[in-house]
Amino acid sequence: GESVGLHLPTLSVQEGDNSIINCAYSNSASDYFIWYKQESGKGPQFIIDIRSNMDKRQGQRVTVLLNKTVKHLSLQIAATQPGDSAVYFCAEIRAGGTSYGKLTFGQGTILTVHP
Amino acid sequence: EPEVTQTPSHQVTQMGQEVILRCVPISNHLYFYWYRQILGQKVEFLVSFYNNEISEKSEIFDDQFSVERPDGSNFTLKIRSTKLEDSAMYFCASTSGVDTQYFGPGTRLTVL
C-alpha cells in the first residue's frame, strides 16, 4: 500500500554534530513533502517543506533533500543543539501538491542530542 | 505570531460518553483538520473541512465522529459515544491554502 516511512527509529548525536534523518515514500505521485518536529507533549511544528520540482531546499540550519528516483527524503540539521532533541516526522501531501490536502505522516525518528 | 489553540489540554471521560474537543484555528485560515496520534504511533489524518463542509475523511472518522464550525472562530470535533480505543492525542490544524498546515498543541483524550 501507499505509505511514508522512516529508515531509523532513533538517532543519537553529540552537540555540534550534523544530523541526518531519512524518510522513504512509496507513492510516486506525491509532490509536496514536509518535515515536522514534535517535542514531548506538543503538536507537530513545521520545519521545512519541499515540492517535487525541487531536489534541495535550505532553511536556517536545516536542509531537505529529495531524491525522486529512489523516493527518498532527508532532513539535515547542522550543528545540532540539545534543543533539537525531539521526534521528527516526514509527511506528504498527494492532492495535486496543494498545501490543503491531507497529510500522511511517517512513523517518526527520535533524535537525541547529547551535550 | 498567530497560532492554533486547543481546549481542553486533557479530557478524561467514561466509555460511552460524548466529548467535544475544541480548536481555534489561525484567523485568516480557510482549511481545517483534525488528526490523532495514539501514544507512540504516527499522526493519522481524521478529517478535513473547507467552506463549511467536510472535504475528506479517513476510515477512522466513522458515524461516531462529527465536526462543526459553529461560529467564525471555533472548530470542534465531537465523538458521540467514546470507546477505549479513542484514547489518543487529537490535533487540530489549519492552513490558508498557500502555506503549510499549522498544528495546535493537542488535546489528550483518555477514555476509561
Is cis: bond before A44, omega within 30 of 0?
Answer: no
B interface mutation test: which of A102, A105, A109 has the most B CBs within 10 A?
A102
A69 contacts chain B (CB < 8 A): no
Rounded Cα distance, B75 and B34, in Å: 9
Instruction: Please write the tens of the pLDDT for every residue from A97-106.
Output: 556 788 999 8
| Confidence at residue A97, expressed as pLDDT on a 0 to 100 scale | 52
Instruction: Please write the tens of the pLDDT for every residue from A56-104.
Output: 999 999 999 999 899 899 999 999 999 999 999 999 887 565 567 889 9
Which is more confident, B35 or A9? Answer: B35
CB burial of B67-87 (b: ≥16 within 10 Å; e: otherwise) equals bebeeeeebebebeebeeebb
Q: Strands B107-111 and B10-13, how do they pair? A: parallel
Instruction: Determine the distance in angstroms separating the CA of B20 from the nearest CA of chain A, rounded to an integer.
Output: 19
For residue A107, pLDDT over 90 is answered with no
A34 contacts chain B (CB < 8 A): yes
| Confidence at residue A41, expressed as pLDDT on a 0 to 100 scale | 83
For residue A28, pLDDT over 90 is answered with no
| Confidence at residue A4, expressed as pLDDT on a 0 to 100 scale | 57
| Confidence at residue A95, expressed as pLDDT on a 0 to 100 scale | 56
| Confidence at residue A1, expressed as pLDDT on a 0 to 100 scale | 39
Residue where the block lists cell 511514508: A4
Which parts of chain B sit beneath pLDDT 50? none
| Confidence at residue A99, expressed as pLDDT on a 0 to 100 scale | 60
A49 contacts chain B (CB < 8 A): yes
Judging contacts by C-beta atoms under 8 Å, the chain B residues touching residue A44 are 43, 91, 103
A107 contacts chain B (CB < 8 A): yes
